Structure 1
Amino acid sequence: MKSIRTLLFVAFLLVACAPGTASTPIEAATQTSVPASETPSATPVPPTAAFTVTPTPRPLAERVLIISYDGLRPDAIGKAPMTNLTALMQESAYSLNAQTIIPSTTLPSHASMLSGLCPAKHAVFWNEYVPENGYALGVNLFTIAHTAGLRTVMIVGKEKLRQIVRPESTDVFIFKEADQTVANLAVAEIQQGFGLMFLHFPSGDYAGHEWGWMGGVQMYNYREDDKMLGQILASLDESGLRASTLIIITADHGGHEKSHGTELPEDMTIPWIVNGPGVIPGPLTSFVQTTDTAATASYALGLPLPTEWDGVPVYEAFGLPTHPRVPAACPQTR
């Protein structure tokens, strides 16, 4: 399986880098469409034209589910409380001191989460839905997974997240603002089977901006999200997929008062929780950055790791020695 996935990925790179060659988009179940413009809003520091890859071991998991709770600070997990998530953490490797990127805002942070790249490389510095800006630069996790033949699903609560991954790299892309709708759609997609799924729950961030971070309304929203997590986990169990699924639960940023986007610890610090095949439960001691999400998912699936990625697999979660990263963290570029 590993060799087939690697050959598919190399073939994809050869086609992608050939002049005048265009890929044929795969029809996606989407609520939105985005023009094919690739003009970023800022001058990027682009990745190299042809990505090189490092080998990975045989897959640890058959599929990966990534869940992002928008605006979730680590201390909100206990305060809300999020009881399903707390119970899952007892069987997981986790960090309550993981770091997002600068700027600590939704779209750039999620772009780093799913691309494995710092903002200087993926060039997403804007934080609104701006179709004319095109898509994040670089080869992202969804491109790699889809090229390897995995069924890829994104269900998001903010339309702007469409600009992270090109439509041809998602078999299913759905934008729905209500958290419960996101959860219901996730359950339906789990029943159909998937290789890589990303879920985004936006309500906690909306509550923080309106009523304040760590306030009662935001805690209520995270409690409701936690009930939906229970539904998603139950669906994995009922479908017989839980034991072979790697689950990563994290956030794009934290927040303070009614805002975020700064270098304050309240804005930068996020939870990072991984559960599933090969994971050694317990708190992580190594530094974890949001870019490591893509790298860890690719590693667990036995997919190639582009050497241009800034993120690295969180090897400690699997009982392996940690690897040094260069740079140690994404530098401030704006």
Structure 2
Amino acid sequence: MDRIRKTIIALMLLWLPFAVTAQPSKVKHVILIGCDGFGAYALPQAEMPQLKRLMQEGAWSLTARSVLPSSSAVNWASLLMGAGPTVHGYTEWNSAVPEIPSADTSRFGLFPSVFSLLKEQRPEAVSALIYSWQGIGPLLEKAATTIRVAGKDNDDFCVDTAVAIIKSVKPVLTFVHLDEPDGVGHNIGHRTPEYYKELQKVDARIGRIVKAVEDAGIANESVILVTADHGGKGKGHGGKSLDEVQIPWVVYGRGVQKGRALTQPVITYDTAATIAWLLRLKMPESWRGMPVKEAFR
């Protein structure tokens, strides 16, 4: 009996590393909130009680990184497509089509995104895309999104719409793009009082989306992820400074470790990989992102 017991224990120890990285059970909804131009440098000093509560009750990194250049379309593409610009081909701040031919395409005609994976592998699943900056639209295949709303540079409209959709439809995957604080960063500047004041409004919008998830009765089976495309320096971005490259990455909800400061590097294309992993979607070979398993129990 002792020999059998020792053999069982040895097998358990052998499989333990695989057990602790299994997907959290019963994750049925992922809500991705993207805040344009939100540099990670700003979060410690910012008055953002809603987001900081998610950090305290979830996992987070303030050293996650964008791809280069630290500009909008190239990074939103990377975040949603699980790969960098040399693979997906979108290389400019306002790319509407790949400047480099994409190394792979989905059956919808664009480089595979987390939305196209969901549509291909779970065609019955409802997805929702709500975006403030119009540059988001060309990055995601229309046929791969169930609900698609262009907010026309109005973040409050986007949040109102997202709240209504989450409560009524309860999509499997929801992406809400908010254009601030990027606008204030460009018009007034990063690291200014006005920038930090705008982050208070961003925080309130995040809080409303989180509350909608709770009001919809799906909080116990949801994961909420808050991140950005890039930060900024002065009145711009696109360069190589850490203010421009480092972005917040905050995850909260089902199966997420509480108060966990992530120690492993996180790159923006890991976001798509993490969402695909949570929703049990098979990732294409062309993706370069890796699920951030450290964030989960």
The TM-score normalised by the length of structure 1 is 0.75
Please, which moves more after superposition, 144-153 or 205-214?
Answer: 144-153
Secondary structure of the 2:111 match is coil
| Aligned residue in 1 for 2:13 | none
Q: 1:181 to 1:291 in 2, by over 3 A?
A: same
The one-letter amino acid of 1:172's match is I
* Partner residue of 1:310 out of 279, 283, 288: 288
The one-letter amino acid of 2:270's match is D
> What's the offset of the Cα at 1:254?
0.6
* Partner residue of 1:140 out of 113, 125, 134: 113
How far apart are the structure 1 equivalents of 2:117 and 2:71? 25
Asked if structure 2 preserves the Cα contact closer than 8 Å seen for 1:92 and 1:275, the reply is yes
Q: CA RMSD in A?
A: 1.9
| Aligned residue in 2 for 1:186 | 162
Secondary structure of the 1:189 match is helix
How far apart are the structure 2 equivalents of 1:254 and 1:96? 11
| Aligned residue in 2 for 1:164 | 139
> What's the offset of the Cα at 1:138?
2.0
* Partner residue of 1:274 out of 251, 254, 264: 251
- In the alignment, structure 2 segments of 5+ residues that lack a partner are 1-21, 103-109
Q: 1:279 to 1:132 in 2, by over 3 A?
A: closer
The one-letter amino acid of 1:151's match is V
Asked if structure 1 preserves the Cα contact closer than 8 Å seen for 2:40 and 2:243, the reply is no
The one-letter amino acid of 1:289's match is I
How far apart are the structure 2 equivalents of 1:164 and 1:219? 29
| Aligned residue in 1 for 2:45 | 79
How far apart are the structure 1 equivalents of 2:141 and 2:164? 23
Q: 1:132 to 1:111 in 2, by over 3 A?
A: closer
How far apart are the structure 1 equivalents of 2:79 and 2:98? 22
Instruction: Give the structure with higher Rg (CA).
Output: 2
Q: 1:122 to 1:218 in 2, by over 3 A?
A: same
Q: 1:58 to 1:209 in 2, by over 3 A?
A: closer
How far apart are the structure 2 equivalents of 1:145 and 1:164? 16
Secondary structure of the 2:206 match is helix
* Partner residue of 1:211 out of 160, 184, 188: 188
How far apart are the structure 1 equivalents of 2:162 and 2:99? 28
Say if 2:268 is the partner of 1:295.
Answer: no
The one-letter amino acid of 2:288's match is D
Asked if structure 1 preserves the Cα contact closer than 8 Å seen for 2:89 and 2:99, the reply is no
| Aligned residue in 1 for 2:79 | 113
How far apart are the structure 2 equivalents of 1:76 and 1:256? 11
The one-letter amino acid of 2:62's match is L
Q: 1:151 to 1:59 in 2, by over 3 A?
A: farther
How far apart are the structure 1 equivalents of 2:82 and 2:97? 22
Identical pairs, percent: 30
Asked if structure 1 preserves the Cα contact closer than 8 Å seen for 2:82 and 2:272, the reply is yes
> What's the offset of the Cα at 1:126?
2.6
* Partner residue of 2:61 out of 89, 95, 111: 95
Partner deviation per Cα, 1:184-208 (whole Å, 9 max, x = no partner): 0010110121010101111210100
Secondary structure of the 1:96 match is strand
> What's the offset of the Cα at 1:111?
0.2
Partner deviation per Cα, 1:293-321 (whole Å, 9 max, x = no partner): 000001111111223211000011124xx
Partner deviation per Cα, 1:50-102 (whole Å, 9 max, x = no partner): xxxxxx85855101111111111123223231110001110111111001000
Partner deviation per Cα, 1:17-74 (whole Å, 9 max, x = no partner): xxxxxxxxxxxxxxxxxxxxxxxxxxxxxxxxxxxxxxx8585510111111111112
| Aligned residue in 1 for 2:178 | 201
Alignment: residue pair count: 264
